[in-house]
Amino acid sequence: MSDPDGAHPDGGRDDPRPPLDLVAVGSALVDVIIRASVTDLAELQLPKGSMSLVDRDRAEHIGTRAVDAIERSGGSAANTAVGVASLGGSAAFVGKVVDDRLGKVFVEDLRASGVVFEPVADRSGDEQVGTGRCLVVVTEDAERTMATYLGAATTIQPADVPLDLVARAQVLYLEGYLWDVPSAVEAMRRAVAVAHQAGAAVALSLSDHWCVQRHRRQFLELVRDDLDILFGNEEELICLFDAPSFDAAVEAALETGLLVAATRGPAGSVVTTPHGPVQIDAHPVRHVVDTTGAGDLYAAGFLYGLTHGAEPTRCARLGSLCAAEVIAHLGARPEADLRAMAATAGLL
């Protein structure tokens, strides 16, 4: 198997190492979780429920509001990789950090979760760039608003993608947020080409309504040419397909021929099947604390199920269970044993 640039990756289906359920490409970020009021959000000029990109100075200004903040490794695609590993699957992450305090936090947390990660450190102006961070402001209604300083994540290049790792994936999972970074887009396109050559499926998370607005044309091109699986919430899919309603967006999703999982919060999710769309109820949650990571963990459960032979509706139920676990506490990574929970629920 040859790589699109003429290089010959070491990995592939004849690689002596075992295949990986998931290889995720995304922003390597440390989440700084802050509790605040809606008034605080207005004062910080952050649209409620959004993800805004900020520079380092603005990130540090928002961080001054942090009292008893919680620091945890995050990043959307990395969260999904951790969820797959928590279910007992094999997962790897591709992203970029700096050898600074937050970079060490990210690497140690991710590896401790069982995810394969060999970071390519950015050596050009490490101190000035810094490891990326996401300030997650959680309001009283458990809604999260994010201000993200991408830092070293913006320096990822096509040469930073380990092609042997990508070639071992059953699913290559792409984070929509990275479409804000031109060099990262080229890196992901290179990964997609290798994944296709290796016979892997390619999945995309739409990530955020504003992200879809910024990159709608490119995402539609991916849907047409490169994707096998698409994840998005109700608002994101309506925006992507320029649909007047959620039902119309689902009809448009069906016409793509992709496997599409559409999340709707407490209304559950809808998954496309050869027999049409199927509604899946949300897994019950006693008390919602923080919705950060709900979509990431839904994708983790869904993709773990898919790579272990489950049909789409069962995958959606497993995704719903994983999402329910993560919204019951602060932070975007699972705290309970997801595999034990899934076994108890009869989903493994």
pLDDT (tens digit per residue) in 59-91 = 888 877 767 778 888 899 999 999 999 999 999
Q: Which helix (H) or strand (E) holds 20?
A: strand 20-25
Q: Looking at the predicted structure, is the pLDDT value of residue 128 above 90?
A: no
In this model, does residue 302 exceed pLDDT 90?
Answer: yes
Sheet with 169-175: list strands edge to edge.
Answer: 91-94, 20-25, 169-175, 201-205, 229-233, 259-263, 269-273, 276-280
- Take residue 142 and report the two structure tokens written for it: 């458990």
Structure tokens at 337: 């044993």
Q: Going along 42-150, which residue ranges are E strands?
A: 51-53, 70-74, 91-94, 132-138, 144-149
What pLDDT was estimated at residue 121? 59
Q: Which two tokens stand for residue 121?
A: 């450190």
Is the distance from CB of 132 to CB of 151 less than 8 angstroms? yes
Tokens at residue 49, please? 């429920």
Give 164's contacts (C-beta < 8 A, 6+ positions apart).
9, 10, 11, 12, 15
Percent of the chain scoring above 70 in pLDDT: 93
- The stretch 145-169 carries a mean pLDDT of 91
Distance CA 149, CA 154 (A): 9
**Residue 57: CB atoms within 10 Å:** 9
Q: Is the pTM above the cut of 0.85?
A: yes
Cα separation, 248 vs 127, whole angstroms = 48
Give the mean model confidence (pLDDT) for residues 6-26: 70
Provide the total of helices (H) and of strands (E) in the chain, helices listed first: 13, 13
CATH number for the domain formed by residue range(s) 20-27+75-125+151-344: 3.40.1190.20
